[in-house]
Structure formats: C-alpha cells, structure tokens
Homo-oligomer: A and B are copies of this chain.
C-alpha cells in the first residue's frame, strides 16, 4: 500500500490516517466539514488535496447510517481500488450498499474495537488501535486483493485482525459494547436527582460502572440506531434477570424462612453467573493472565511477623501478587505462600534466606 484516502476525519478516521502517514503512506483526507479535514491535516494526518488517480485503499469513517451512500458515491468517482469502513455495526451498512447497487467485490466491512470518551480529530492518536481487535467481515464476493489490503491496514495500525460474519459481529458488539453502554447510562441516571450527601458516598465501584455514561449521546444514538433490534434483544434478556433479582430481594425483605432461602439462592445465582461472565473478559491487552509461582516461608507466632515479611519482600524489590497463609502446621508456626512473578522467585528466596527467614521448598 502506497496511497490511501480517509473519508471522515473524526477520531477513528484521523487516528488511522496518523498511523498510515507515520508508516510513509500518502493519505488524502476528506470530510463533509472542511474544517475537520484541515484540523486533521494540521495534526500531520495527511493532505486535504485530492488524489489525481485511484488510491490503493479508501477508508470510510462516517456514521453507520451514511456508510452505504458514501461508498456508492466514492465508487462512482473511482476513488480507490479497494474500500473498507470502520462503522461499529456491519449488517445494516451491507444492506444499504446492496440497495444502492454498490460493487460488493471491492468492499470489505471493518470495525476497529477502539475509541475514547472524547471524539473529533483533536482526540486522535496514531497508537489508538495498538493491540486492539479489528474485525473484518469478508463475504464470498470479497476479492482476495481487498481482504489483503484491509489486513495490511490493520497491521500498519498495530491492530489484531479478527474475521467474523456480519450478523455475529453485531450480536457480539451488542453484548460487549452497546448494551453495557445503555446500562451504564441507566445506572448513572439514578444519580441525576439524588441527594448531594448520597453522591458524596460514591466510590470506585459506581465510578467504574458509570464511566462510559459520560459518552456523547449523539454519537451513541447513531450507533444504537444502526443495531437497535439486536441491542433490544440483549436488554430484554437482561430485563428478565433484573426482574428475577428484584423478586429475590423482595423475598429476602419479606423474611420468612422459605422465601428468604429462595431469595438468597436467586441473588447468589445471578452474582455467580456475573463472576463467570466477568472472568471470561480478556485482560487489558488480550493477554492471558500471568501465572505466578509460589515461595513458601514459615513464620513464627510473634505479632507483626507477617508485616515484617512483606516489608522484606518490598525491600528486595519483589512485588507480592497474592498471599495465602496456613496455620494448620501448629500453634507456633504458620506457612505463608507468597505468589510472585516467576522471574522474581530466586531473588526473593535469596533475600529472605540472607535475612534469616525459614524458606521452605
């Protein structure tokens, strides 16, 4: 790839343009608002001059409802040899393209799973897609050349390509993005008229649950409109569980042995399902959780013994990730299991032995 066009210089379009420009590709920038395109150019994302010949790849970075029309218009003026988009839904745009008679062979759907709370070109960053999944939705009609151009785009942006069917994609983003967004807004909406003292008690939990409730309603209306039926399905399933949870709480509040037992079982069940679902979410960079190794130390029964052990580990520069203690060895001694990074095991053992601790094999 030597040349590209970005249509729509918002957060995503400008970030992709910055990444491509940084890799030496000539990027032509367009936007319905010329100021937005000039701002992107001013950031170093490319040029606002039109290309005199078809570019290798055009990236359509406009709201989902406009993708079909913009693609049809771009194909009409032969803007590029290959086309992709970055819209956060995939089935709707494809239907619109079919209706508008677009050439399906030169297009591949795309959706980089990246974003920020702030929008517009000024929020753009060349590393926005680094390590993030980038969904591609080829069909039987998609030319191999087009798939490869999209794979090159993803690689140049540092993303991780994930090939999916358009409908499966839309269900997936409803589950992991669109429904959570609306639920976060619903939780935050409860605080709109809450007492000032109540809001003062907010801690990290509700702060995390409602962080994305600060998102732009206009942008989200575009996204949710384009995936409305699928999101409604997910939220209706959630509403069933919510009503069950309310019923369980009412049973607990009413007291009475049998009702309380059923209520407790209901609440515990939904929380355990939450544990299971939460555990499936991959870590920040999609990496599997680190496996720690264990260093076992026998400690005496004197007050403060464990505190001293932690201070010694800190002094040795070792981060203790988890700890468990077993008193069953007898009243006078406890076995402490320190979980640490595999690379730190030797260092910690050596430091503790040197300071006179009883390190066990």
Chain A residues engaging chain B, CB cutoff 8 angstroms: 35, 38-39, 41-44, 46-47, 113-115, 122, 132-133, 135, 162, 164, 168, 171-173, 175-177, 179-192, 194-195, 197-215, 217-218, 220-221, 224-225, 228-229, 231-232, 234-239, 241-243, 245-246, 249-250, 252-253, 260, 263-264, 267-268, 270-282, 284, 286, 299, 301-308, 323-325, 327, 334
Contacts and interface: CB of A to CB of B under 8 A. Distances in A.
Contacts of A133: 200-201
Contacts of A263: 225, 228
Contact of A303 (B44, B250, B277, B307): B44
Contacts of A303: 41-42, 44, 46-47
A252 B270 contact: no
B280 A213 contact: no
Contacts of A41: 303-304
B209 A195 contact: no
A17 to B, nearest CB: 11
A197 B173 CA distance: 10
A319 to B, nearest CB: 15
A233 to B, nearest CB: 9
A311 to B, nearest CB: 10
A243 to B, nearest CB: 7
A205 to B, nearest CB: 5
A14 B198 CA distance: 26
